Structure 1
Amino acid sequence: MADLCVRLVPLFNTLNEADQLEIEKLVRKKNYQKGELVMDPTGNNLVIVAYGSAKLYSLDKNGHENITQILHTGDYAGEDWLLGKNDGSIYVEATGNSKICLLNRQDFLNLLKKQPMLSIKLLEQSMTKMQTMQRQIDLLSLPKIEDRLSEYLQEYAVKVGKKTFNLPLKMKDLALYLGTTPETLSRKFALLEKQGVLTRKLRKIILN
């Protein structure tokens, strides 16, 4: 059971082992390379990150990315598509070599009919995601880029449970997430290092 995709997703934690195994039979697994597109606006799958990382982003009218969610092992995206919401600008892209599990829309809707409690669980998880998105908005409201960066790193350290970690995003993607440019972000890393807040060795970060 340890390697089942559905065991990674909090949405399915309320189900018993037999039901989880049934759902697992519906899941399609695929390996993606860093930078490979997992889902485009025509997609209709629930995307589960079994291993690796990905980003959920939208494109504005000028084609610029706006990252709305960072996905790590156990995270998922695409429930809006599954529930019928169409958005012509939403994409999911692997940010590292990743194993992704895909659950088809119709299969998912059939699950909701057979497992009503999943609908409640889905609502709870959606609220959690909204809080995460609100946190990004809060970060972007900070006037200083170094403050946004410091807050982001501190929160990520709490999430992974250690002060030494590799950045989950490329500089370009992290810059987009924090509303700045890679060049400015590099300067802010240097500033925080000079201030003794952190030590950086390429993508390895050590918070002091």
Structure 2
Amino acid sequence: MNLMADLCVNLVPLFNALPQDEKMQIEKLVQHKNYEKGEVIIDPTINDNLVIVADGNAKQYTLDEDGYENVLQILHTGDYIGENWLFGQKNVNNYVEATEHSEICLLKRQDLLKLMHKQPELSIRLLELNIVKVSEMQKQIHLLALPKVEDRLLKYLQTYADEIGKNNFTLPLKMKDLALYLGTTPETLSRKFALLEKQGQLKRQLRRIELLEN
């Protein structure tokens, strides 16, 4: 048994609706590879793979005309990307890069499409999850439209607090990942946290945050 492939299948919500014997069918289709920090997993020449992070972290980004990275999302263990490519969408300007030593599982478009013809519920599940991912990306786009980093940060924190129903919480992202998500650097992010704390917007103890009433 390929234990890493089994780990991939069980981590991805896309396959949760399937019984174990059908998950094992997917396991047989999965290829697994190790990538080091800074190594590119997907580039615009590759557009037929579902990429699953079995262990580690990666980032998805595009490059502008000056070669500057625009980070679209941070991928952690259990995250995946590439479902749109599986349905024929061309990868025009997307890169996926390991941000630390990572174990990656790859599922080819042709193999998954064959399976989906046999398992229609998989197509429905994929559509539902894709809607959720689009919604999350729209939230990030709205944040990046705010010109000031401190406004992006405060809006992100307020939105997360509303989602969990608490004003006191631990940041769900590491500082470096949150900085990428908000389109800034960890150093700038730390300064903006200090600014918001000075303004009486929040209290912070490492990754523990308390939003204050104004």
Tell me which moved more, 82-91 or 127-136.
82-91
Aligned length: 201
Which consecutive residues of structure 1, in runs of 5 or more, have no partner in the other structure? none
Q: Give 1:23-34 correspondences, 5 Å limit.
A: 23-34=26-37
- Superposition deviation, residue 174 in structure 1: 4.3
| AA in 2 matched with 1:76 | Y
The percentage of counterpart residues that share the same residue type is 60
Contact 1:53/1:168 (<8 A) preserved: no
Q: TM-score, normalised by structure 2?
A: 0.80
Aligned to 2:41: 38
Shift of 1:47: 0.4
Aligned match for 1:82, one of 80, 86, 96: 86
Equivalent of 1:60 in 55, 64, 75: 64
Structure 1 window deviating more from structure 2 (94-103 vs 15-24): it is: 94-103
Whether the 8 Å CA contact 1:192–1:198 is kept in 2: the answer is no
1:13 equivalent in alignment to 2:16: yes
Q: Which position in structure 1 is the counterpart of 2:169?
A: 163
1:121 matched to which residue of 2?
125
Superposed CA RMSD in Å reads 2.8
Q: What is the aligned partner in structure 2 of residue 191 from structure 1?
A: 195
Moved more, 148-157 or 65-74: 148-157
State the match for 1:72 in structure 2: 76
Equivalent residue number for residue 95 of structure 1: 99
Aligned with 1:179 (options 180, 183, 189):
183
Larger Rg: 2
Q: 1:151: Cα distance to partner?
A: 4.0
- Structure 1 length normalisation: TM-score? 0.82
Q: CA deviation at 1:152?
A: 3.5
